[in-house]
Amino acid sequence: MTASALPFSIEEYATRLNKTRQAMSEHGLDALFVTDPSNQAWLTGYDGWSFYVHQGVVVLPDADPIWWGRLMDTQGALRTVWMGFDRVIGYEDSFVQSTELHPMQDLSVLLDSLGLSAGRIGVEMENYYFSAKAMHVLEASLPNATFEDATGVVNHLRAVKSQAEIAFMRKAAAISEKMIDGLLERVEPGVAKNEVVAELYRDAIRGVGDAWGDYPAIVPMLPSGDDAAAPHLTWDGRPFKSGEATFFEIAGCYRRYHTPFCRTLFLGKPPEDILAAEAAIVEGLEAGLEAGRAGNRACDIANALSDALNRHGIDRVGRCGYSIGLSYPPDWGERTISLRSTDETVLEPGMTFHFMPGLWRDTWGLEITESILIRETGAAETFCNRPRQLFVKP
Surface-to-core class of residue 368, CB atoms within 10 Å of its CB (0-12 exposed, 13-18 middle, 19+ buried): buried
pLDDT at 2 over 80: no
pLDDT at 1 over 90: no
Quote the pLDDT of residue 4. Answer: 53
HSE (CB half, 13 Å, CA atoms) of 100?
2
pLDDT in tens, 332-371: 999 999 999 999 999 999 999 999 999 999 999 999 999 9
Contact 233, 216 (CB under 8 A): no
pTM for the structure as a whole? 0.96
pLDDT at 3 over 80: no
CA distance 118 to 134: 18
pLDDT at 5 over 90: no
Contact 308, 291 (CB under 8 A): no
pLDDT in tens, 143-186: 999 999 999 999 999 999 999 999 999 999 999 999 999 999 99
pLDDT in tens, 220-236: 999 999 999 999 999 99
Q: DSSP letter at 118?
A: T
pLDDT in tens, 282-332: 999 999 999 999 999 999 999 999 999 999 999 999 999 999 999 999 999
Beta carbons within 8 Å of 74's beta carbon, 6+ residues apart: 67, 88, 89, 90
Tell me what the mean pLDDT of segment 67-90 comes to: 97
Beta carbons within 8 Å of 37's beta carbon, 6+ residues apart: 46, 51, 129, 328
Beta carbons within 8 Å of 272's beta carbon, 6+ residues apart: none
What are the domain boundaries of the chain?
A: 3-157, 163-393
Tell me what the mean pLDDT of segment 263-269 comes to: 98
> What percent of the chain has pLDDT above 90?
98
Contact 278, 390 (CB under 8 A): yes
Domain range 163-393, CATH architecture: Alpha-Beta Complex (3.90)
HEC sequence for 327-372: CCCCCCEEEEEECCCCCCCECCCCEEEEECCCEECCCCEECCCEEE
Domain 3-157's class?
A: alpha beta
> What percent of the chain has pLDDT above 70?
99
3-state helix, strand and coil shares in percent for the chain, rounded to the nearest 5: 35, 20, 40
CA distance 387 to 383: 13
Contact 321, 339 (CB under 8 A): yes
